[in-house]
Amino acid sequence: MHQAEQIHLAVQSFLDSCGQPVCFEPGDPPLPIRPGGYRLGVESGRLTLQVWSESRNVVRRIVGIRSQKPGRLEVDVVRFPKRQGSLLLIDLGRGGAGTGVPRLASRMALRERLRLFLQRQFTGWRIMEVSSEAALEHTLSPSYARASVVRDGCCWAVLASPDEAAAADHALTFGLIWHDYLRRRERKALVEGLCLLLPQGKHLTACLRIAWLNPNAARFVVFTYDGPDWEEQVEIAAHGNLDTEIPVAHGPPPRAASENADEAWLESRIRASPGQLDARLLPSPVYGQVPAWVGVERGVLDLLACDIGGRLAVIEIKRTADPNLPLQALDYWLRVRWHHARGDFARFGYFTGVALSPLAPRLLLVAPAFEWHSTTETILRYFDPSIEVERIGLAVEWQAGFRVLFRLPGAHAPK
């Protein structure tokens, strides 16, 4: 039996099992597949599906089955003029099968946008895969479209972000996770670099972070996109301006705001006795949210302290496991470093009476010992080695008493 005939049987079997089948493509409303309103058949070795209504007519050549779940069948198609894509067949009569269609549509559209990008920008490379399927055991998020391309024994990881600003800010985290996953999976190809495809105007955060990653760990390329047919490579090194400000210090350091009661309690204990966290830290002052981002919400608490040698210490507190913690901490660290190099802390009245060391700040990541995300070590391995990072794990009874269970340098794993 030819491949087209095998696919024909699979698609027809799915349609026969449906109570209320529809076909669906990104950007278009679902089109009902009714008896007498569709044709599925093989001619000259090609499988074609035609679906029509009073107002629409869709004709697609089906070339493969991408995925199948209860009530859903996604097929690879070719549409005029020889443009590849996908078509989703859904049984609306099956409970739950039709839920989340708008979200699914946006993910399909992003995936096809990535496929077109690869065909234009990676000419001569072989596209190994394009996917937005979730793989939670590997922290591969369905919110992003990801791909890999190969040529002459070299492989690149590629990740595309949806248009939302928060997703674009987190794209580098999930891009590094994807790059590391490919590096561990691919045995015959060198996974050389990571390419990010980000919405136009929402690439600054990624570029600022990449500037402080280790160039020996991976090569990095960033493109921005606008619409289905335009993308442009950006110069990462040209995006070094920080949108940050440091207010004049008046009186004692204010409390850092937290909507989480546990994090607020943990913050209060660290502020009251920073020496319990690190014996080198001065008991006061400890500042929160300095420097600040205007209009930007943060998922972690940022504290700024100083040790007995005058060296600044950036403290990031996170109550629950979060893959974004390392790069969010890097955001705050690079801003503190930027202001410190310009003498802003002394100029604006911070750490009065303390001779601040010219050394770059240390970065302390603090979380309960069993609340570190499994990808934390992976992300930290990409950091520039000049950044001194320490992970501090708190004992399981941290809510009753504040006690350090372990401290690890950088990406070192607990023994």
Quick check: pTM over 0.85? no
> Residue 261: what residue type?
A
Q: Which pLDDT band, with edges at 50, 70 and 90, does 414 fall under?
A: confident
* Burial (Cβ within 10 Å: 0-12, 13-18, ≥19) of residue 295: exposed
Q: Which pLDDT band, with edges at 50, 70 and 90, does 269 fall under?
A: confident
Least-confidence region, from 262-266, 389-393, 397-401:
397-401
Mean pLDDT, range 393-411, rounded to an integer? 83
Q: How many Cβ atoms are within 10 Å of 103's Cβ, its own excluded?
A: 12
Query: CA 260, 399, 331: angle at the middle one, nearest 5?
Result: 45
Q: Distance (Å, rounded) from C-alpha 154 to C-alpha 194?
A: 12
Is it the case that residue 105 has pLDDT exceeding 80? no
Mean pLDDT, range 395-402, rounded to an integer? 74
Q: Distance (Å, rounded) from C-alpha 14 to C-alpha 22?
A: 11
pLDDT digits (tens, 9 = 90+) for 311-323: 999 999 888 899 9
Domain total in the chain: 3
The verdict on residue 96 lying in a domain is no
Pair 394, 259 in one domain: yes
pLDDT digits (tens, 9 = 90+) for 326-381: 999 999 999 999 999 999 998 989 999 999 999 999 999 999 888 899 999 999 99
The verdict on residue 415 lying in a domain is no
Is it the case that residue 112 has pLDDT exceeding 70? yes
Pair 249, 388 in one domain: yes
pLDDT for the residue numbered 95: 67
The verdict on residue 202 lying in a domain is yes
Cα distances (Å, whole numbers) of residue 247 to 45, 288, 345? 71, 12, 9
pLDDT for the residue numbered 21: 92
Least-confidence region, from 48-62, 111-125, 130-144, 198-212:
130-144
Pair 158, 31 in one domain: no
pLDDT for the residue numbered 73: 92
Pair 105, 87 in one domain: no
Q: Distance (Å, rounded) from C-alpha 195 to C-alpha 231?
A: 13
Is it the case that residue 16 has pLDDT exceeding 60? yes
Q: How many Cβ atoms are within 10 Å of 298's Cβ, its own excluded?
A: 16
Q: How many Cβ atoms are within 10 Å of 354's Cβ, its own excluded?
A: 17
Q: Mean pLDDT, the chain, as a whole number? A: 87
Pair 275, 366 in one domain: yes
Which residue, 56, 91, 126, sits at the end of a domain? 91
Tell me if residue 409 falls in helix, strand or coil: strand
CATH number at residue 404: 3.40.1350
The verdict on residue 78 lying in a domain is yes
The verdict on residue 56 lying in a domain is yes
pLDDT for the residue numbered 109: 83
The verdict on residue 120 lying in a domain is yes
Is it the case that residue 295 has pLDDT exceeding 50? no
- Which comes out higher in pLDDT, residue 395 or 28? 395
> Residue 285: what residue type?
P
pLDDT for the residue numbered 187: 83
pLDDT digits (tens, 9 = 90+) for 173-215: 999 999 999 999 988 889 999 999 999 999 999 999 999 999 9
The verdict on residue 173 lying in a domain is yes
- Are the C-beta atoms of residues 376 and 401 closer than 8 Å to each other? no
Pair 158, 11 in one domain: no
Pair 306, 229 in one domain: no
Which residue, 91, 109, 133, sits at the end of a domain? 91
Q: What are phi and psi of 97, to 5 degrees?
A: -70, -30
The verdict on residue 414 lying in a domain is no
Which residue, 195, 211, 238, sits at the end of a domain? 238
- Are the C-beta atoms of residues 394 and 369 closer than 8 Å to each other? yes
Pair 380, 299 in one domain: yes
Q: What are phi and psi of 39, to 5 degrees?
A: -140, 130
Tokens of 322: 């979060």
Pair 403, 278 in one domain: yes
- Are the C-beta atoms of residues 265 and 399 closer than 8 Å to each other? yes
Nearest to 205 by CA among 196, 214, 215: 196
Q: Distance (Å, rounded) from C-alpha 386 to C-alpha 214?
A: 9
- Are the C-beta atoms of residues 324 and 292 closer than 8 Å to each other? no
Pair 325, 353 in one domain: yes
pLDDT for the residue numbered 388: 97
- Most confident range, picked from 18-27, 221-230, 355-364: 355-364
Tell me the residue range of the domain where 60 lies: 1-91
Pair 270, 398 in one domain: yes
Tokens of 217: 């760990």
Q: Where are the beta strands (DSSP E) in 252-394?
A: 287-288, 301-306, 312-317, 362-368, 389-394
Q: Which pLDDT band, with edges at 50, 70 and 90, does 117 fall under?
A: very high
Q: What percent of the chain has pLDDT over 90?
A: 60
- Which comes out higher in pLDDT, residue 31 or 155? 155
Q: Which pLDDT band, with edges at 50, 70 and 90, does 294 fall under?
A: very low
pLDDT for the residue numbered 297: 43
pLDDT for the residue numbered 291: 67
Pair 250, 212 in one domain: no
The DSSP secondary structure of 335-370, one letter per residue, reads: HHHHHHHTTHHHHTT-STT----SSPPEEEEEEETT
